[in-house]
Amino acid sequence: MRLYAALLLLILGVGCGQQQKATEEASAEESAAETEQATEDNLQLTSEQLGILQESIFFHLRENVARVDDNTFVKHEALMLNGDKLEYLIVVIDRSMLNPIAQSKESEGVFKLASFKQDLPNSELGDTIRVEATISIAEVNTSVEASVNSLKVNISGEYSTSILSSSPYSYNGWERQLDNTQIDSDLVVKLTEPRIYNRDELYLKARVWSLTQADLDGLSADELAYLRNEIFARHGHQFKTDKMKDYFSGKDWYQPFFDDATPFLNDLEKSNAQFIKSLES
């Protein structure tokens, strides 16, 4: 148990708000230091493996608890870690509801309710799922060389939902359903199999990782600008320039509902947007 506790402290120390590395040399030095700290009884975790673990928790919650799919409009999404505690917060609306809501007389009020404000309770956040849980490591699998191949992680706590749905019995055609549910979920993380992101998924990687120069190599200035703006577009940002309007209007997923989507970005998205912008010139 002493080993698992030590590993857990290292894992949760990575956090979602890691900063961009100044140089590849600095990154390598930090990685080596973290590997040295993670060594106990000949077990090692690299900085990349710790990031894969964090990433795996993020996608496990969005896919199995929030059940995000192609029909989900995500206004805000973030994973926050503090000690052995985690909070995953996502504010969503089913895409099939967006146009009817926007065309109704109640659209302004509905979107106000569904807006993201960190300090508001769930009942006022809109379509919200909030997971508050404790993380523990149940099992560590290693190779013959004593490097860690996979971890079995337990996520235990509860998640609360505040979901807006259409209703013929409500005076304005919409009603809110509130619920609290216990979560006790095991997750096996294969540390030797990192998630592969294609070009169209880099906006999502920017939500959970700090992007590096290697992620963006080969992209032109225009492609970098499109990627940076896609971080905002995925949250419903309305663009002012014809160039961005024309580009994103051709995307099936794009639905511009907000004059400024900046408040809906998590800290990593904001940091990554600034990083991409620094490479555009």
Phi-psi region of 71 (alpha: psi -120 to 50; beta: other; left: phi over 0): alpha
User: What's the length of the chain?
Assistant: 281
The structure tokens listed for 245 are 């309007």
| Residues 7-43 as b or e (16 or more Cβ within 10 Å = b) | bbebbbebebebeebeeeeeeeeebeebbeebeeeee
Task: Round to whole Å and give the CA distance between 187 and 146.
Answer: 21
Cβ neighbours for 33, distance < 8 A, ≥ 6 positions apart: none
Domains defined along the chain, listed by start: 1-195 (no CATH), 196-281 (1.20.58.1690)
pLDDT tens for 78-93 read: 998 887 899 999 988 7
Amino acid at the residue 218: G
d(CA 89, CA 198): 25
pLDDT greater than 50 at residue 234: yes
40-43: long-range contacts, CB 8 A cutoff, minimum separation 24 = 40/2, 40/3, 40/6, 40/7, 41/3, 41/146, 42/142, 42/146, 43/3, 43/7, 43/140, 43/142, 43/146, 43/147, 43/148
Element (H, E) at 153: strand 148-166
Chain centroid offset of residue 22 CA: 23
DSSP state of 237: B
40 within 8 A of 147, measured Cβ to Cβ: no
Mean model confidence pLDDT for the chain: 77
1 versus 230: the higher-pLDDT residue is 230
Tokens of 208: 């959970």
Please report the pLDDT score of residue 165 as a whole number.
66
pLDDT for position 42:
42
pLDDT, residue 131, reads 92
Asked if the model's pLDDT at residue 139 lies above 80, the reply is yes
Tens of pLDDT, residues 249-262: 999 899 887 888 89
Contact 152, 187 (CB under 8 A): yes
User: How do residues 9-19 score in pLDDT, each as one tens digit?
Assistant: 444 444 444 44
Residue 56 buriedness (CB in 10 A; 0-12 / 13-18 / 19+) = buried
Distance from C-alpha of 133 to C-alpha of 187, rounded to nearest angstrom: 14
Task: Say what the pLDDT of residue 30 is.
Answer: 47
How far apart are alpha carbons 185 and 86 in whole angstroms?
13
Q: What is the pLDDT of residues 16-34, one digit of tens each?
A: 444 444 444 444 444 433 4
